[in-house]
Amino acid sequence: MPLLLFEIIVTTIIIVIILLSLEPNITIIIIIIIIIVIVLVINRQPLSSSSSPSSSLSSLSL
């Protein structure tokens, strides 16, 4: 539980910093944030519970 809380705090701080920087390529930054969150969720799950991580990663790359 503390690890999950720590990840939420870190991602929130990163999002706030990026929003404060007001860069023009907002959509690219949002896509990168979404990919990072998805990777964190995949890494947090045990390998036994995730059905097929390789297929989800390949669909993400496509």
Looking at the structure of the chain, the number of domains it has is 1
pLDDT of residue 25: 67
Tell me which residue range forms the domain holding 45: 2-61
- Cα dihedral sign, 23-25-28-31: positive
Residue 51, H or E segment: none
Rounded to the nearest 5°, which phi and psi values hold at 58? -70, -35
For 4-39, write each residue's pLDDT tens digit.
778 877 887 787 777 777 666 666 777 777 788 777
pLDDT of residue 30: 74
